[in-house]
């Protein structure tokens, strides 16, 4: 998995630069751009990161409303407990001990609620915890649950990069067990015939935009493995993590330019000559790395920069769903802090249908109370509610800009917020009385602030029936332009840093960064 294609001309060019410090311009300061920039800066590159927004971090951005700091995303992260894969990358970068995290409860990492039969399920951490949690509800399914968890963990263990193991070059996306590229729905069905248990096992679907018969089992398995091993949450603002990555870049001589996005990339004869920002500043470098949505990248370049077939391919790949979110300030002392995430589902049969437009909205949502600097016994001061939403629901306003969408759009947002709060009330009766203020964000908000096509929160959809379509290499046909970010391999807080390693090793050599990470963590 995560196979990287290293071109011979690129390696020849790099040898010619070995006697001086190589320069890199990275377009976009989201998680992918910052991780890639931090690694390259640490390894001696002269790094410049260009960000269109006034704040960095992409999905890690935070903002102030009603006197509170809200994260733009619902950040429950895997791989950050000591020894986890992302923790090890952070240890190599020197920031692992600076990240402010709180582990979720091991005896209830997630709570699921199905309105259809008003049934709740709690999921405990670890292999045994997971099996025992669901065996209580499905006592005759223990054997199937044990085989399911073992198969999930086996898929994750078969992937070198996920485990930060040096690759021999023989393990590609298309190797591994027969389960690897099976549809996740079919993968789950191998272990149980109970339709309710199948739906429960797929409860993380909103985190990766899964589609029935299409989403590959490896996407489901890797994300599930992260949470089985134990999840954590950012304490305070998630933007603090972005700031730590920026510090790695600047402390190693690089810079992060905010509020001045790239408006043009000059490329001729399959080579980038320079980039120009909206403020008219021109940046040149030996290499350029795009950390923005690939379709957004195409709009910044002459159409002849890439072959027509490549452009058509990128524009034809469907994106995963977007989301509608509520950022809620709570009245003091009215609602408890909950140290796990809650998933609300309307019907078992709709757990895979979040991307469909022919279903009533919302089909469900994620609910969380973000941790603060106090202990977990504090009352919550705010809550986040995010419901998957297809971009088609806001398509009538897609040509409008922020603050100029019209009264009909504002009325639509109020209507959707009310519908979502009715479901929250179903989960937590009396919740409405705890609310002091509400701010909303739609797929248009995500599109405009993240620069993500169709406001996607998970990047390109993966389709096991044609996996090569959405499996985008980090190396491009332009000899000094690389790609990084959630659209290349796996999305999210785990997938994006791993893709950053791919992009960096395209410049530094296969296994170079992996060996550095392992050497660093082994010496601790």
> SS3 letters for 409-472?
HHHHHHHHHHHHHHHHHHHCCCHHHHEEEEEEECHHHHHHHHCCHHHCCCCECCCHHHHHHHCC
pLDDT band at 479 (very low <50, low <70, confident <90, very high): very high
What pLDDT score does 168 carry? 77
* SS3 call for 25: strand
First and final C-alpha spacing in the chain: 28
Burial of 411 (0-12, 13-18, 19+ CB in 10 A): exposed
Span 298-325, mean pLDDT?
Answer: 93
Span 461-465, mean pLDDT?
Answer: 89
- In the predicted model, what is the mean pLDDT of the chain? 90
Span 238-242, mean pLDDT?
Answer: 92
> If you write DSSP's letter for every residue of 178-241 in order, what string do you get?
TTTTSBHHHHHHTT---HHHHHHHTTTHHHHT--TTTSBHHHHHHHHHHHHT-EEEESS-THHH
- Integer Cα distance of 46 and 244 in angstroms: 18
* SS3 call for 5: coil
Span 52-57, mean pLDDT?
Answer: 92
pLDDT band at 177 (very low <50, low <70, confident <90, very high): low
What pLDDT score does 489 carry? 80
Stretch among 121-130, 311-320, 423-432 having the lowest mean pLDDT: 311-320
What pLDDT score does 237 carry? 86
Span 127-137, mean pLDDT?
Answer: 97
pLDDT band at 9 (very low <50, low <70, confident <90, very high): very low
What pLDDT score does 378 carry? 80
For residues 393 and 171, the model is more confident at: 393
pLDDT band at 4 (very low <50, low <70, confident <90, very high): very low
**pLDDT cut 90: percent of the chain above it:** 74
φ/ψ of 347, rounded to 5, equals: -130, 145
Element (H, E) at 268: strand 262-268
What pLDDT score does 170 carry? 44
Q: How does pLDDT run across 485-506, given as a tens digit for each residue?
A: 988 888 888 889 999 999 999 9
The sign of the CA dihedral 245, 462, 79, 372 is positive
φ/ψ of 190, rounded to 5, equals: -65, -25
Paired tokens of 377: 């016994």
Burial of 56 (0-12, 13-18, 19+ CB in 10 A): buried
pLDDT band at 166 (very low <50, low <70, confident <90, very high): very high
Whether 14 shows a pLDDT value over 60: the answer reads no
Stretch among 248-262, 282-296, 447-461 having the lowest mean pLDDT: 447-461
Stretch among 37-41, 171-175, 390-394, 416-420 having the lowest mean pLDDT: 171-175
Whether 196 shows a pLDDT value over 70: the answer reads yes
For residues 235 and 251, the model is more confident at: 251
pTM of the model: 0.93
> If you write DSSP's letter for every residue of 282-346 in order, what string do you get?
EE--SEEEE-S-HHHHHTTB-TTSS-HHHHHHHHHSPBPPEEEEEEEEEPTTSSB--SSEEEEES
What pLDDT score does 374 carry? 60
- Integer Cα distance of 496 and 363 in angstroms: 28
Contact 383, 371 (CB under 8 A): no
What pLDDT score does 59 carry? 85
Contact 365, 207 (CB under 8 A): no
Angle at 455 between CA 459 and CA 277, to 5 degrees: 90
- Integer Cα distance of 131 and 151 in angstroms: 13
> If you write DSSP's letter for every residue of 134-188 in order, what string do you get?
HHTT-GGGHHHHHHHHHHHHHHHHT-TGGGTPPP-S---TT-S-TTTTSBHHHHH
Contact 442, 413 (CB under 8 A): yes
The sign of the CA dihedral 159, 162, 166, 169 is positive
What pLDDT score does 23 carry? 97
φ/ψ of 271, rounded to 5, equals: -150, 130
For residues 10 and 491, the model is more confident at: 491
Q: Are strands 231-234 and 322-330 parallel, antiparallel or unpaired?
A: unpaired
What pLDDT score does 76 carry? 81
Whether 148 shows a pLDDT value over 90: the answer reads yes
* SS3 call for 19: coil
- Integer Cα distance of 354 and 338 in angstroms: 25
Nearby residues of 453 by Cβ (< 8 Å), 6 or more positions away:
293, 295, 296, 319, 447
Nearby residues of 105 by Cβ (< 8 Å), 6 or more positions away:
339, 340
For residues 93 and 173, the model is more confident at: 93
For residues 46 and 207, the model is more confident at: 46
What pLDDT score does 466 carry? 87
- Integer Cα distance of 487 and 480 in angstroms: 19
* SS3 call for 369: coil
> 165 preceded by cis ω (within 30°)?
no
| Cα diameter, the chain | 68
Q: How does pLDDT run across 396-419, given as a tens digit for each residue?
A: 999 998 889 999 999 999 999 999
What would you report as the CA-atom Rg of the chain, rounded to the nearest whole angstrom?
22
Of 217, 152, 213, give the one whose Cα is nearest residue 182: 217
């Amino acid at each position: 998995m995560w196979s990287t294609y290293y071109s011979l001309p690129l390696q020849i060019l790099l040898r010619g630069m070995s006697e001086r410090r190589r320069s890199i311009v990275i377009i976009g300061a989201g998680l992918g751009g910052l991780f890639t920039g931090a690694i390259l800066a640490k390894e001696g590159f002269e790094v410049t990161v260009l960000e269109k927004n006034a704040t960095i971090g992409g999905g890690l951005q935070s903002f102030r409303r009603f006197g509170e700091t809200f994260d733009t995303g619902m950040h429950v992260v895997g791989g950050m407990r000591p020894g986890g894969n992302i923790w090890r990358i952070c240890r190599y970068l020197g920031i692992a001990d600076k990240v402010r995290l709180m582990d979720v409860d091991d005896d209830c990492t997630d709570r699921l609620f199905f309105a259809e039969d008003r049934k709740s399920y709690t999921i405990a951490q670890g292999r045994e915890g997971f099996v025992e949690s669901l065996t209580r509800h499905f006592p005759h399914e223990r054997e199937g649950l044990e085989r399911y968890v073992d198969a999930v963990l086996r898929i994750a263990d078969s992937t070198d990069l996920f485990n930060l193991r040096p690759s021999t070059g023989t393990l590609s996306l298309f190797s591994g067990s027969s389960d690897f590229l099976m549809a996740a729905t079919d993968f789950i069905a191998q272990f149980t015939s109970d339709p309710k248990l199948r739906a429960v096992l797929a409860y993380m679907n909103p985190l990766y935009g899964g589609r029935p018969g299409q989403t590959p089992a490896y996407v489901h398995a890797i994300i599930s493995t992260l949470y089985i091993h134990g999840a954590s949450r950012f304490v305070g603002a998630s933007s603090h993590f972005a700031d730590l990555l920026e510090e790695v870049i600047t402390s190693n001589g690089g810079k992060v330019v905010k509020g001045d996005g790239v408006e043009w990339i000059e490329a001729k004869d399959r080579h980038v000559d320079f980039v120009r920002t909206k403020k008219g500043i021109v940046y040149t470098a030996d290499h350029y790395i795009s950390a923005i949505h690939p379709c957004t990248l195409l709009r910044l370049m002459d159409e002849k920069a890439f072959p027509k077939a490549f452009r058509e391919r990128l524009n034809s790949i469907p994106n995963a769903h977007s989301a509608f979110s509520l950022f809620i300030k709570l009245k003091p002392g009215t609602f408890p802090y909950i140290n796990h995430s809650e998933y609300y589902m309307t019907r078992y049969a709709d757990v895979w249908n979040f991307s469909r437009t022919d279903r009533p909205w919302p089909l469900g949502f994620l609910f969380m109370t973000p941790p603060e600097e106090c202990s977990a016994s504090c009352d919550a001061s705010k809550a986040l509610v995010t419901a998957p939403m297809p971009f088609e629901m806001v398509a009538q306003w897609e040509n409008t800009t922020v603050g100029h969408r019209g009264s009909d759009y504002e009325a639509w947002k109020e209507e959707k917020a009310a519908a979502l709060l009715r479901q929250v009330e179903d989960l937590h009766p009396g919740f409405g009385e705890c609310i002091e203020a509400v701010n909303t964000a739609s797929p248009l908000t995500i599109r405009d602030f993240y620069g993500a096509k169709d406001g996607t929160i998970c990047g390109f959809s993966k389709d096991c029936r044609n996996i090569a379509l959405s499996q985008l290499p980090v190396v491009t046909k332009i000899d000094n332009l690389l790609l990084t970010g959630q659209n290349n391999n796996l999305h999210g807080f785990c997938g994006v840093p791993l893709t950053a390693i791919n992009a960096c090793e395209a410049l530094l050599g296969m296994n170079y960064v992996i060996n550095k990470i392992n050497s660093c963590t082994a010496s601790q």
